[in-house]
Amino acid sequence: MHRNVPRTEEKVDGLLMPMDERNSYMAVYNVNLPVRMFDTVGSSTAALERTKNLLAVDFANANAMFQFTASYLLYNEATAQYRTWTGSFYPRGNAPAYLSAFRRFDPASFVAFGLASVDNVEQSLTSWTREDTNWAFSDLISIIVNVQSVVPATHPIVSKFPNSTHGRKRQIVFALP
């Protein structure tokens, strides 16, 4: 799958970065779940189950932390322009517009927590709207599950990434299984 796959597709963007200590890496997954996957409780549950299954395998025996966030469209009232934004957006402020704080990945509670986190997504993302910006929330594009863990070089997730020269970060993109 090509790295420039649109946000409207189910995909996983992976990043593996060497840590200062030898033989350990920061493994990061951004699981992109298009908004259409959250039309009903059944489809939401199915999307989160698939995500849970991927994370349970790829981050097995790792201390993984995750956070729910989103990709969305902003509209500028002054210029009539649109901008796709991912993550948090809070101009000149300190409170990011995210759907959940980071927490430890637990397969037993992931789906229930995810369902609660994505309930009223638009309200969560628009709670940061302020008068000091012309940008306003327009449309939700996708829910993103950001997962991070420091893993040893011997962890199976490391083998999913292509080899790198000179210790640089390594990237992969693949369809959500």
Look up the domain containing 148 and give its range.
11-175
Based on its alpha-carbon atoms, the radius of gyration of the chain, rounded to whole angstroms, reads 17
Q: Supply the pLDDT for residue 86.
A: 72
Number of folded domains that form the chain: 1
In the 8-state DSSP scheme, what is residue 27? E
DSSP H helical ranges for the chain: 41-58, 107-118, 121-126
Q: Residue 91: inside a domain, yes or no?
A: yes
Whether 109 maps to a domain, the answer reads: yes
Dist CA 74 CA 167 (whole Å): 37
Q: Answer whether residue 163 is part of any domain.
A: yes
Classify residue 5: in a domain, yes or no.
no
Give the single-character DSSP code of 162. Answer: P
Report yes or no on 16 lying in a domain.
yes
Residue 84's identity, in one-letter code, is T
Give kind and range of the element (H or E) at residue 148.
Answer: strand 135-152
Specify if 54 maps to a domain: yes
Which structure tokens are listed for 152? 């040893």
Per-residue pLDDT of the chain (177 residues; tens, 9 = 90+): 334 545 567 999 999 999 876 789 999 999 999 999 999 999 999 999 999 999 999 999 999 999 998 888 888 888 999 988 776 555 555 445 567 889 999 999 999 999 998 887 776 666 655 556 677 778 889 999 999 999 999 999 999 998 876 667 899 999 999
Q: Is residue 1 part of a domain?
A: no
Alpha carbon of 52 to those of 9, 31, 64, 146: distances in Å?
Answer: 18, 10, 12, 12
Residue 3 within any structural domain of the chain? no
